[in-house]
A and B are shown apart, each in its own frame.
Chain A
Amino acid sequence: MKKYWLCIEPSVFIWKDNDRILLYNSYNYEKMLQARHSSIDNLIDALIEPSNFFSVLFSDADTKCEEFKEFVEKIVGNRMGHILPFEKNDGKPITIPPHYVFPQEIKRLKEKKIELYDGNMLDNLQSVTMQITGECSLSCSSCDLFHKQINHCSKLKDELPLEAIKAIVFKLSLTNIRKINIIGGDIFRHTDFSKVIDVLDDIAPVKIFHSHFKFVNKCTTQLLLRDDSNILLKILVEPLDIWLEDICLLLDELHEFNNRLIWAFALTSEDSLKNFEHLVNRYKISNYEYHVLFNGHNMDFIIERCFLNEDEIWQSELGMKDVFANQILNKIFFGKLMIYANGLIYDDQNEPPIGTIHDNMEKMLYGLMWNEGAWLRIRRNVPCRGCVNRFLCPPPSRLESLLRRNTICNIITNTD
């Protein structure tokens, strides 16, 4: 009886749930879904076993089973593996399967009861968002929800005193952060706003001021941007019909600053989506971003625009390291902190604060990592746990956090 090796390519991930098997090739992003069948279960288990090095022996007899034969042919046809004839004197084919090796992963250290993280916690910090004031004259109905989904202004009675801002900026200057977002309320209402700009002027990270479009004009833009290319202005716009004319006027007025502006559109309805598309096309805006946001009463729009179907998940093109990232950390939250005008610090604005501006930052980050907070939040809960797609899915988002949902996908998964 002839024997063969079935060898899987080293870039292929194999995941299974109760009903299905997914092979994902992180080299060319090809996916192959297979219904589970008793005749291939042993083969899959053998392939998943790390010490088999992605090579499993099968014989002519195995291929008499149609399901087995089809599955092997499908693997080869999809270029996720190949077949080699078994030769007694040849060694076993060896392929290193895609398992990450990360000795300093907090989860591993905890399992081993090692309390020492051999790295500097502060090296993990990427960007900080600082709400310098919560004061604002507008009465937007949704800012309280928007700021829990993106860096967005929100109302609060407090203001971060200049001295506190100085202290924060001095501390941040000793870290590796690349970006500081400055948000309000209305940032221009800060008692010492021009001094705040001076303080920020001295440090290297990119500074992005965020302002509702209602507070922006040519004069304020000039004041903010100065000649420092390290400063950008992000203009927050909800393109509602009632504001469309004002937005158009502003786009005309700020034309000369275009390369230093980021237009951030908050989309809450199909109408706002249409207006957004119209504005971008008409004014040929290139520096823009858009966010589909929950405003408390647009759940249908959110489901339509944010929730994912399996084919949408499968459009993701993740390299091996991206898949490892989804197995280890949350790329949306990781490295980001939010400091509010009342001095509280959050890793996720939808959860309790992790500290205050008076706390030792190193200690705070240590606690955040050790307790596996938002930075390390991955798809480990029901219903994602056990789903074949969970590491191809985007990481758990702020929207999920706000809605207290563990998923925003439409797949009905059969998981444990």
Chain B
Amino acid sequence: MPNIQIKKELIEKYFKRVNHLVIETSEICNLSCLYCGQGKNYVKTDSHKKKKHMDWHTVKPLLDYYISLWHSGTIGLKRFFMLSFYGGEPLLNFELIDNVHQYIERNKPADFLVYYSITTNGMLLDRYIEYFVHHNYTIAVSLDGDKISNSFRVDKSGTESFDTLYHILINIKERYPDFFDRKVSFQSVLNSRSNLIDVYAFFKEMFNKEPLLLEMSKSRLSLKSDIYAMYRGIDEDLEISWKTRKEECVKFSLKNLDTSYLDFYIKTYTPHFILRYPDFFQEFDNVTIKLPTATCLPFSDRVFLTVGGLILPCEKVGCVSPLGYVINGEIDIDFQKIVDFYNEIFNKYQKLCETCIRTMSCTNCFYDINYLAKKNICPDYVPNSQKDKYIQRALEILRRTPEIFKKIINSID
């Protein structure tokens, strides 16, 4: 197989066409959650940070860049743009949120839609909720479940945050029931003090919602990290739940592992799965080529701007390899350098991925794998020699529950 050569024009195109900008509004937080990615369990990576809050001079050049593109009528642009505020705790720098919002609304083309969202721990939400309701923000609140499930989320003095946050949320729900229903969602990190069923039950009962479940990141762990003591994997918990609490799994429509496995099987072993329309055209080889790992191409989904002015592909990858900078009011991105970096890593992983049977259903980002195993060893690598085992398992599932296949093709066929 030839070497992978992503072209810089493609990445440049992605940077122009992207429709999601995430701004790290503040790098500090009013909580000290024990598993926090910016806490003692993780290696700090943003050596460029000298500030605590995002300042206007750092964010403005990027806003101006996209606003001018919106006015240019460039063909690649989507019809809308998403602007997200992220932290630390973004509400500690509310002034910037408001400044960005006002600036965008004043300068964007009249018919261009911009959606705003914020990810927050919610502890200051009561102070600003009117603003967010008025401007129709989407709010993602980090809450791990009931008091016990949420007990790793503590303030600076070590006091659990649950009671305060719960009170704030109930209050918002009562004051703005429609907004709460439509625009407030929850993100829950599964941990050793929580489990899927209890978390689902809590959110269903208290807020009539389903949370977005997340796992603690296993990348950038520091040497003395306690993360493994607090860690709980979603798939492992799901498997246990289906064995021990099946009725509740059905009640909350939890993902069935058999269905997920068959989904993987069909993607991997059959020619039946179609990802997108261009897959039918060989001439689209630069689009449909399966790149090693499951790493997104930079800016194909979003752009993340840190307090320190680093431009990153997303908020999850750490700051070790910034793709660009905003410095002295200028955007500084070397697209050639970016593709050289990605091509080098993709080519390193190519051989490994080529011989892995999970390549089509891979979910690993190379930023994560790199941190985990510097020798390009993937934690989820399954060699071709185990293919028969995987096929047998799929066939067993189909024999046992033939309706699953129909469900898969009916729900999508």
A residues at B contact (CB < 8 Å): 10, 50-53, 91-92, 94, 96, 98-105, 108, 119-120, 122-124, 126, 167, 170-172, 174-176, 178, 204, 320-321, 324-325, 328-329, 331, 334-335, 360-363, 366
Smallest CB gap from A335: residue in B = B281
User: Of A102, A175, A321, A331, which is in contact with the most chain B CB atoms at under 10 Å from its CB?
Assistant: A102
CA distance A98 to B74 in the complex (A): 41
Main secondary structure of the interface of A (DSSP, over half): loop
The CB with the most chain B CB atoms within 10 A, among A10, A99, A126, A170, is that of A99
Choose from A50, A100, A329, A361 the contact partner of B75 (Cβ within 8 Å): A361
Query: Per DSSP, are chain B's interface residues mostly helix, strand or loop, or mixed?
Result: helix
Alpha-carbon distance between A174 and B16 when the two chains are bound, in angstroms: 9
A53-B402, A126-B284, A363-B79 are contacts. A96–B278 as well, Cβ < 8 Å?
no
**Closest CB of chain A to B279's CB: distance in Å?**
8
Sample of 14 further A-B pairs with CB below 8 A, known A105-B412, A120-B78, A335-B281? A10-B270, A51-B403, A53-B405, A94-B395, A94-B399, A104-B275, A170-B74, A171-B73, A171-B76, A172-B75, A174-B74, A325-B280, A334-B280, A366-B79
Known: A122-B76, A204-B9. A320 touches B276 (CB 8 A): no
Residues of B within 8 A of A96 (CB): 266, 270, 272, 405
> What is the CA–CA distance of A76 and B399 in the complex, to the nearest angstrom?
24
Query: Which residues of A lie under 8 Å from residue B388 when comparing CB positions?
Result: none
Q: Are A52 and B402 in contact (CB under 8 A)?
A: yes
Residues in B neighbouring A122, C-beta threshold 8 A: 17, 75-76
Give the residues from 246 to 277 in chain B that come closer than 8 angstroms, CB to CB, to chain A. Answer: 266, 270-277
Known pairs A101-B413, A335-B281; A174 contacts B274 (CB<8 A): no
Q: Cα distance A196–B280 when bound, in Å?
A: 33
Residue of chain A at shortest CB distance from B79: A363
Task: Report whether B412 and A108 are in contact in the complex, using a CB–CB cutoff of 8 Å.
Answer: yes
Given contacts A101-B266, A101-B409, contact A91 B399 (CB under 8 A): yes
Let me know if B412 and A362 touch, CB within 8 A: no
Inter-chain CA distance A272–B89, complex, in Å, is 76
| B360-385 contacts to A (CB < 8 Å) | none
With A101-B274, A126-B281 given, is the CB distance from A50 to B406 under 8 Å?
A: yes
B163 CB–A CB distance under 8 Å: no
Instruction: Give the shortest distance, in Å, between A80 (CB) and chain B (any CB).
Output: 18
Binding site for A on B (CB under 8 A): 9, 13, 16-17, 73-79, 266, 270-278, 280-281, 283-284, 286-287, 395-396, 398-399, 402-403, 405-406, 408-409, 412-413
Query: In the docked arrangement, what's the CA distance between A124 and B271, Å?
Result: 21
Contact call A324/B76, Cβ cutoff below 8 A = no
Quick check: B76 and A362 within 8 Å, CB to CB? Answer: yes
Task: Say which residue of B9, B17, B76, B402 sits within 8 Å of A51 (CB atoms).
Answer: B402
In contact, B271 and A321 (Cβ under 8 angstroms) = yes
**Known pairs A126-B283, A360-B79; A119 contacts B398 (CB<8 A):** no
Report whether B278 and A100 are in contact in the complex, using a CB–CB cutoff of 8 Å. no
Q: Is A102 in contact with B270, judged by CB distance below 8 angstroms?
A: no
Which of B76, B278, B395, B405 contacts A124, CB < 8 Å? B278
A-B complex: 8 closest residue pairs judged by Cβ atoms: A171-B75, A174-B76, A102-B274, A51-B402, A361-B75, A99-B409, A325-B280, A51-B406
Minimal Cβ-Cβ distance residue in A for B275: A104
Q: Which of chain B's residues has its CB closest to A320's CB?
A: B271
| Structural contact, B412 and A102, CB atoms closer than 8 A | yes
CA distance in complex: A96, B396 (Å) = 13
Q: A120, B284: Cβ atoms under 8 Å?
A: no
A171 touches B74 (CB 8 A): yes
Closest residue to A52 on the B side, CB-wise? B402
Complex CA gap A94/B395 in Å reads 7
Minimum C-beta distance from A28 to chain B (A): 15
Q: Would you mind naming 11 contact pairs between A and B with Cβ atoms under 8 Å apart?
A: A94-B399, A96-B270, A101-B408, A102-B273, A105-B412, A170-B74, A174-B74, A175-B75, A324-B272, A324-B280, A328-B274
Please report the C-alpha to C-alpha distance between residue A360 and residue B274 in the assembled complex, in whole angstroms.
27
Q: Are A360 and B73 in contact (CB under 8 A)?
A: yes
**CA of A30 to CA of B76 in the docked complex: distance in angstroms?**
44
Residues of A within 8 A of B9 (CB): 204
Report the bound CA distance from A40 to B78 in whole Å. 53
Specify the chain B residue showing the minimal Cβ separation from A103: B412
Q: Shortest Cβ distance from A116 into chain B, in angstroms?
A: 11
Report yes or no: A99 in contact with B272, Cβ–Cβ below 8 A: yes
Q: Give every chain B residue within 8 A of A363 (Cβ-Cβ).
A: 79
Of all chain A residues, the one with the shortest Cβ separation from B283 is A178
